[in-house]
Structure 1
């Protein structure tokens, strides 16, 4: 059946047949297929779901599968959103509704404070890692650890759950290891930045961290200065080495910025060099050349403004030279357009 209905390769069809040989005469699969089609599942979506979780074809339709579908509908999944989500996360339909799904979802909703009629944050987390709703024990244990032992407040836990839900299904030893690494970097349990440190360290490995540390050290920063920069802006560790190197070279060498200022304003390395930093630097250089500013505002100061504010403060107020200043500011667009 699987081979003809879904056009599976012979090997895949044989595997399913052998795994579920006891149901060969069952009427369940056709009933399940008709039910899924009635919910607007396309053939491709059904094939995708069955490939990942073939057992759903052999699940008791009225007593097991339908109540689970109804549960997700009650959470706000309707129309095309239902098949789109469940086809990608069909393993959820293989879990016990009352022992696993409902308890896990209830815990997540309390953390995320999701609107009962929308549950946008809930489905955002589930879409990123649906396995978070498959283990009540790990979810509860990690949530308790973050809040009770690490002192991370609920809104920050919610942020972590939305952005990186897989952390909540890790073994306790792994989670404690992430926290220990964050503390070694200088984060403290009473710091609001701890959760950002945990998030970042979970995104990268020890080797990547050491490479970023080595890169900063090559520009003359001490290890303590490197750690301070990471504590101020943990996302620096997730930035590509190429972007970091370009930013450091530009600020320290082209703009002659002091290392102490770079440490203090480490977030400047997160701005787009091509879209924000370099264009504003060019404008400031033109202003200095024309003598419009005696010493010239610092680049770090100029980076703080929104684009409209920057244009008003550093370009529009010099109407006789606005065209030249605007050309300096927008030249990166001209170059990009000619590529």
Structure 2
């Protein structure tokens, strides 16, 4: 216990005072680490890993208990202290460091001079700043300490249009992007052959990240399924169709198509016209499709044939978008404020800004409460003026 207290006291002397600037903290901490007294950094058979993780790295006792077996071979704080100085140099806060060490305890065993420093130099050469490296560290610490990460980012950055932000978002969804490059490359090459550009492929990486890290055979099956829906390669809807059928089999797709036919009450031919226009209907739940079609047919009064020609109507949010806008249009019609009936496809399709400017702002004097009622309807209420008889 006496030895532990002496070591903790010595380590506290290494840590910078709270009032000093971040730069002076880093420089002072790093220089003191290099010139620290021998008892602090020399091999010590009684080095208490669990206590170090709590007192120096900021882990909770439970986290430290879970992490310490992975660091049981450590006999001193020399390398972990150097790693902590490295992390401070990348701009990670105490909370960031604690989260990183809890996620990947073995990061503390990485050699700074032979491992981390060359990686940082390589990433800097790709244009990454310290804050960007800190984000990458937080997302995938176990991948960061592998030198191959430089080559992987060199491959991925052009695919994402040079945007590290987009790449980091994709990595956040699927860190396997950093360990399955061998799978990703043939998949990307195949998708390019199918007519997809890098921008569309990058969107697939973000929206369906497992797709590009799957086996090539599986990706080829997905492409074949989109062809079965009548969506040709290279078409505008091809990427959306791939997203819709990702990890579905023929049986599940057939069941979705059958439900869609029942939902709008149309023939195979009409559904075959609708799906190539809106393949993302396959990703909608049966309940959502049912409620949407009932509203459009029973309340709005649209014909099923019209819905089949404009199938994207079934993809819009019912309670937060279509129903409030329908209330506004019906209110305007019943009060004689519309010269002609609008296209409901336009009413539901356009942005909220367009809808407000087109259907609410011109009627501020005649209907001063319309904007307020519309906002209430978007929030799930039904204002009295929207309760039609």
TM range (shorter): 0.7 to 0.9
Distance 2:268 2:224 in 1: 18
Indicate if the aligned counterparts of 1:138 and 1:170 stay in contact, CA closer than 8 A.
yes
Deviation (angstroms), 1:74: 4.4
Please state if 1:160 is matched with 2:165: no
Q: Given the superposition, is the C-alpha separation of residues 84 and 153 from structure 1 closer, same or farther in structure 2, using an over 3 Å criterion?
A: closer
Deviation (angstroms), 1:336: 4.3
Q: Given the superposition, is the C-alpha separation of residues 162 and 76 from structure 1 closer, same or farther in structure 2, using an over 3 Å criterion?
A: farther
Deviation (angstroms), 1:193: 1.7
1:1-339 equivalences under 5 Å are: 1-7=48-54, 9=62, 12-13=66-67, 15-17=69-71, 21=73, 23-24=74-75, 27-95=78-146, 97=147, 100-114=148-162, 119-148=164-193, 150-202=194-246, 209=253, 212-219=256-263, 220-290=265-335, 296-315=341-360, 317=362, 321-323=366-368, 329-332=374-377, 336=381
Unaligned runs of 5+ in 2: 1-47, 55-60, 384-389
Q: Given the superposition, is the C-alpha separation of residues 124 and 309 from structure 1 closer, same or farther in structure 2, using an over 3 Å criterion?
A: closer
Indicate if the aligned counterparts of 1:276 and 1:303 stay in contact, CA closer than 8 A.
yes
Of structures 1 and 2, the one with the larger relative CO (CA 8 A, separation 6+) is: 1
Which deviates further from its counterpart, 329-338 or 263-272? 329-338
Indicate if the aligned counterparts of 1:101 and 1:133 stay in contact, CA closer than 8 A.
yes
Distance 1:234 1:111 in 2: 25
Distance 2:176 2:341 in 1: 54
| SS in structure 2 at match of 1:188 | coil
Deviation (angstroms), 1:262: 0.7
Deviation (angstroms), 1:16: 0.9
Superposition TM-score, scaled by structure 1 size? 0.80
Deviation (angstroms), 1:294: 7.6
Deviation (angstroms), 1:36: 1.8
Deviation (angstroms), 1:82: 3.4
Unaligned runs of 5+ in 1: none
Count of residues in Structure 1 that have an aligned counterpart in Structure 2? 328
Distance 1:336 1:75 in 2: 52
Indicate if the aligned counterparts of 2:87 and 2:97 stay in contact, CA closer than 8 A.
yes
